[in-house]
Amino acid sequence: MKVLVTGGLGYIGSHTTVELLNNGYEVVIVDNLYNSQIEVVDKIKKITNKEFKFYEVDVCDKEKMKEIFDKENIDAVIHFAGYKAVGESVQKPLMYYRNNLDSTLTLLEVMKEHNCKKIVFSSSATVYGSPKELPIKEDFPLSTTNPYGTTKLIIEGILKDLYKSDNTFSIAILRYFNPIGAHESGLIGENPNGIPNNLMPYIVKVANKELDELKIFGNDYDTVDGTGVRDYIHVVDLARGHLKALEKIDKENICDCYNLGTGNGYSVLELVNAFKRVNNIDVPYSIVGRRDGDIAACYASTDKAYKELGWKAEYGIDKMCKDAYNFVLQGGSKWKKNVISVVQKTKTGWKYVSTVEIN
């Protein structure tokens, strides 16, 4: 099967590409490098020892997308491409609506013209808004609190309407919770262009002394220690969920939604303390006021994904924290360039050898 991966050089897209290649899929990546780096192409090839096609193309460009579909004979699509910063979406809502909706509509139109009717869509737990109970199930009411989340919810509606009009399409909508971690090689991981939007990049910035301390927003929530609780999932587990969804839509025509999380909630302080322990490094922090729009707790029910996709997360919080910091030490991140971890590939995986300072 030949799979088109839009946004395939990004954080989740690159890890999913690795899993696809390692499982025998042919891969074509389309990425405009807005929030990714061209170096990831070679890193994916180094990890997998496999080749794939890469096109530096904006998915909104319909003529170029047509050319790719004309040339590549695509069987299925995994759609990651889109702007994803919640705060930026509040400041620049029109940019988010234009890009995220236009890119998806363009992609779906080109897919339909080329009779390519299998798609896995990258959605988000933000479509649940502020849930009234936990864990969050797929049939809970949907609402959003920011333009980024609203674009995801609108696209979910577009996909559902498309399926109603033509049930020869097969669609899996994956609602992510909080991906962290990195590939165990340390070659690919979370490396956003510009200001990070997630918690883990800030933790490693403090660990590397690029920031004096981590600011924790609020410690008076009704949680185990007063800090916000989220469902953190290892990015490799998340990537593997896409392969299970791809298998599902290849076997039957569906349009359905699945949570991808661990089913466990960890507080901010629990994550920080785990990071300090497994990496043997200090992460100073201070408590500041709550952020507008933040909720106390959010974690998934993963029963449906397990029953219908045969998928569940395997990695715990310790491995998430270890792999996230190893990516920085390995030099894969822009944040610290003078320290690398030396690793080697063995029959059972990647093995840590040593840490080396470079000038």
Catalytic residues: 148
Determine how many CB atoms are found less than 10 A away from the CB of residue 334: 11
Distance (Å, whole) CA 181 – CA 231: 13
- Indicate the angle between helix axes 268-279 and 317-329, nearest 10 degrees: 60
Pick left, alpha or beta for residue 343 (phi over 0 → left; psi -120 to 50 → alpha; otherwise beta): beta
Q: Before 196, cis peptide (omega within 30)?
A: no
331 CB burial (10 A radius; 0-12, 13-18, 19+): middle
For 331, residues 6+ apart whose C-beta sits below 8 A from its C-beta are: 186, 337, 339, 340
Distance (Å, whole) CA 265 – CA 357: 36
Helices (H), the chain: 11-22, 39-48, 62-72, 86-91, 93-113, 147-165, 199-207, 235-251, 268-279, 303-304, 317-329
Amino acid at 20: L
User: Residue for token digits 């901010």?
Assistant: 268
**How do strand 339-346 and strand 349-357 relate by DSSP bridges?**
antiparallel
Determine how many CB atoms are found less than 10 A away from the CB of residue 32: 18
Sign of CA dihedral 103, 192, 269, 215: negative
32, 6 Cβ separation under 8 angstroms: no
